[in-house]
Structures are given as structure tokens and as C-alpha cells.
Amino acid sequence: MNSKLVSLGLVALLLGCSDPEQSSGACTETVPDGVDKACEGAGECDSPLVCEGVCSLPPAMTGEGGSAFILASDLDDRRFQAEVAESDLARTRGLANRSCIEDGWGMLLVWPSAEVVNITMAGVRFNLDIAFIDDSRQVVDVRRDLQAGSKALYQSSQEVRWVFEAPAGDLADVEPGWTASLE
């Protein structure tokens, strides 16, 4: 099995950022330098900014856009807005260098094919819950309250295609066997 390390904080470590700061609640991120700078590709904007013709704050920080993401069991469901990260760069950046995300938001990391995935919290500034989701869109593993800034590796228990990250506590009731859908 091929194992890929997704370092959510790689960019932060390379830039020499300081220790992570804890944050919760509504997102009140200070607008970083480089917003509104013209860009043609994702790598032209410093993290956490994304390129949309100009460098801008990502959806999970503004509360605008995103996709509806639902985790469901036979008895319950959890609904989120998801910022979707499909490119290698977007998955590597993940939620690094952000002091917060909007309430009810998360990030969905999507791989082109199923593989064993390793996640690290290096560079992430707030604790997360993570759900590993296989090719059939079944939750196979949930890790809770992963510590901000931790360099530990959190490996999926089997090959997965999606990883959903949300602020700690948001996936408290989610268990293996729940299904995931993106609308």
C-alpha cells in the first residue's frame, strides 16, 4: 500500500511560523498580506489564501461558498459546509495557518483514488476532529480532539478517498459506518 503524508502544516513549518495559537468560535481572522493580489495558480498565494483570479480568503474563513457535506447514520446526521481540497497543494495546506474557521464549516480533503493516508496537525492552530472515509463513502475511522500543532502522524486504518476535518467536538457523535455525501 502506498502511504502519502499530508502535512497540513508543511507550509507553516517551511515559513518558520511560531507555535500554534488556540482559537474557537466565530472566525475573526485578520486579513493577511497579499489579499487581492492578481494570481493565475494556487501556488502564487501564500497560505491560507487561495487563488480565484486574485488571492482571497478561503470559503471556510469567510462563510461564503463551499459545498454541503453530510455525515449520516440510520438515526442521525450532521450537516456542514465544506471547503473542498482536491489538489496536492490544497490538501497539503489543509487548515494550516488559519486561526479559525466559520461555525458549521469543515474541510474535505479528496484524493483521486483510495490510499492509506497520514495526517499531521503541524501548523494547524486549533484542535480538530477527523473522519476517514473510504471509496464507498463510509466512515471507517474517526479521530477526535487532535491537538493543534502536534507533529504526530494519524494514519487511516485502511485505504480512504476522503478525509473530513472539523473543529474539535463537531464530530463527537460520528462513528465508523456512517455515510458521507457531498451536495
CATH number, span 3-15+59-182: 2.60.120.1140
Q: pLDDT tens digit string along 108-157? A: 999 999 999 999 999 999 999 999 999 999 999 999 999 999 999 999 99
Q: How many CA atoms lie within 13 A of 57 on its CB side?
A: 19
Which residues are bridge partners to 132 per DSSP? 141, 163
Determine the Cα–Cα distance for residues 39 and 79; give it in Å rounded to an integer: 33
Q: pLDDT tens digit string along 32-88? A: 677 778 888 767 887 777 777 888 778 877 777 788 899 999 999 999 999 999 989
The backbone torsions φ and ψ at residue 42, rounded to the nearest 5 degrees and listed phi first, read -55, -35
pTM over 0.85: no
Q: pLDDT tens digit string along 74-103? A: 999 999 999 999 989 889 888 988 878 888
